Amino acid sequence: MQTNPKVDFYFDKAKKWQEELLLLRTIALDCGLTEELKWGCPCYTFNGNNIVLIHDFKEYCAFLFFKGVLLNDAAGILIQQTKNVQSARQARFTNALKIVELKAVLKTYIYEAIEVERVGLKVELKKTTEYNIPAEFQSKLDHIPDLKTAFEALTPGRQRGYLLYFSAAKQSKTRAARVEKFIPKILNGKGLDD
């Protein structure tokens, strides 16, 4: 069990879930994973492949299994974080006792996730063309050929980012305002968060 000093700050700064986070850390390291810092969170890898990430929120802390959708969730503890998350699944915790009770199950899931990577299983992701294009954006694509060309030149991930962001607005005027705001970025070949 080898901790990474670059990750220690994450556990040291934790106020609400410190005991729970340290238990999750121990479980991940007991499984022979390498501890790294990615996206500002402790990430546990096997041969360079992301297996599980620890993160905390106001209401819970969690193990996030990167390819959780491929795991056999016999214990029924894996949760899809949002409807747009295709691959990852969370095991959420609100107390240390539950983590202790599920320690063997969590280790089983980690070993299964390692095996998923070892055999090279891939998650079949939804294609960008399968996402809904809001009418407000489709209208702009139809009337501004350069915008359509620029949008189609974006990576599939950037295209999905825009489509999900535009679609998330409940009101048409909000969707239209979002589209207008981001037209210059799309024309410049930039993603939503670039």
Q: Which residues pair with 56 in a beta bridge?
A: 61
Domain-located, residue 37:
yes
Please name the residue that has the structure tokens 């501004």.
144
pLDDT tens track for 89-126 = 999 999 999 999 999 999 999 999 999 999 999 988 88
Domain span including residue 33: 8-118
Mean per-residue pLDDT of the chain = 94
pTM: 0.76
pLDDT of residue 192: 87
Mean predicted confidence (pLDDT) in 133-150:
95
Q: Are residues 142 and 114 in the same domain?
A: no
Domain-located, residue 2:
no
pLDDT tens track for 46-78 = 999 999 999 999 999 999 999 999 999 999 999
Q: Are residues 113 and 46 in the same domain?
A: yes
CB 153 within 8 A of CB 194: no
